[in-house]
Amino acid sequence: MIVVMKTDSTPGQIEHMATQIAGLGLTPQVIRGTHQTVIAAIGDERPGLTEVLEAGEGVEKVLPIMAPYKRASSEIKRDRTVVKAQGLEVGGKKVTVIAGPCSVENEEQIVSIAKTLKKLGASGLRGGPYNPRTSPYSFQGHKELGLKMLATARAETGLAIVTEVMAPEHVPIVAEYADVLQIGARNMQNYQLLQAVGDSGKAVLLKRGMSATIEEFLLAAEYILDRGNMNVMLCERGIRTYEDHTRFTLPLATVPYLQEKSHLPVVVDPSHGTGKAKLVGPMSKAAVAAGADALIIEVHDDPEHAMSDGAQTITPAMFSELMAQCKRVAEAVDRTM
Ligand code: PEP
Ligand code: MN
């Protein structure tokens, strides 16, 4: 339920309503907008509740939240959420770029590519010391040693570190080094992991499961928000379809659709979304044109010899060209880059 407060309601009335909502067994969440404050009352709705809340002082009206994902829904928050982490800002006018290799291979590699990416305009550095690999025989990552390498790259460049966490028991160690915790597509419905990253208070980049519907995706985000962590970005990374000319099918209608249904920023991953380096540039431009708030892109100095995902990884030269072209697209749709 949404308790809409009158524009001239006092802080005391708002606080009183929040306490009353809690007393009714619901969780209150006060959302202060530019013109009006609303209080989301989350929990089991029962008959008679609307009337009780409507009688409160300073209350203008009480509305139901129609979407099953209550906290992620744009019904409770009209202003767009801007996720902030170590200088990285996603959800504002600027289209942000997170880039880096699929895996953190060694310190020299990650520091060198980080410096290049920083120069070329990236704000975040991606790279996995914990890699979810389809085959158990593929390189699995350097674990904590890799996290330390990422921390060195951040110290040298100031880039925010975006890295995947695969298990609830790894959240404390990954959160110690990372600025943004990534939940991979294969873990989108790992509810204990979602709750653990929610509890960490760190910004989260949640990837869409490869066979998840948008409603399932937003309900996964809801698990994180429900722990009081509103710093969540939604990442479209492609879905599994009958089509096999690309690794996955990258549906860009997701971008404006999610932005209509939710206040959370939307990131697009054209690397995993296509699986082909040549398609990363064109799909990045398309994503920016569709309104994406950020891009996350795999870049490596020598993609041919990358330890994972080389086929979809672009070179710094390709990244530089992509940035220049995306910047022009961003300007055409009233964004900056
Ligand atoms: C990745 O970002 O390297 C990754 C494994 O992504 P996804 O979970 O989208 O497959
Ligand atoms: Mn990858």
At a CB cut-off of 8 Å and minimum separation 6, what does 187 contact?
A: 132, 166, 193
CA distance 262 to 70: 10
Residue of 181, 182, 308 best suited for mutating to test ligand 1, as the one with most atoms within 8 Å of CB: 182
Phi-psi label, residue 13: left if phi above 0, alpha if psi -120 to 50, beta otherwise: alpha
Q: Are 214 and 257 in contact (CB under 8 A)?
A: yes
- Rounded to the nearest angstrom, the distance between the alpha carbon of 127 and the centre of ligand 1 is 10
Average pLDDT over residues 34-48: 87
Residue 45 has pLDDT above 80, yes or no: no
Query: Tens of pLDDT along 201-232?
Result: 999 999 999 999 999 999 999 999 999 999 99
CA distance 314 to 312: 7
pLDDT value for 325: 98
CA distance 122 to 97: 5
Query: Tens of pLDDT along 109-165?
Result: 999 999 999 999 999 999 999 988 889 999 889 999 999 999 999 999 999 999 999
Percent of the chain's residues with pLDDT above 90: 92
Quote the pTM value: 0.95
CA distance 220 to 194: 7
What are the beta bridge partners of residue 94? Answer: 336
- Rounded to the nearest angstrom, the distance between the alpha carbon of 272 and the centre of ligand 1 is 7
What ligand is nearest to the CA atom of residue 206?
1
- State the average pLDDT for the chain: 96
Query: Tens of pLDDT along 297-331?
Result: 999 999 999 999 999 999 999 999 999 999 999 99
Q: Are 298 and 101 in contact (CB under 8 A)?
A: yes
Residue 15 has pLDDT above 80, yes or no: yes
CA distance 329 to 272: 22
- Rounded to the nearest angstrom, the distance between the alpha carbon of 102 and the centre of ligand 2 is 4
pLDDT value for 131: 84
What ligand is nearest to the CA atom of residue 185?
1
pLDDT value for 231: 97
Q: Please identify which residue in the block is written with the tokens 């991979």.
A: 184
pLDDT value for 54: 95
Which DSSP letter does residue 86 get? T
Q: Please identify which residue in the block is written with the tokens 């009209």.
A: 78
Ion ligand 2 neighbours (CB, 5 A) are: 102, 309
Distances (CA, A) of 309 to 44, 140, 182: 44, 13, 17
Atom number of ligand 1 nearest to Cα 238: 9
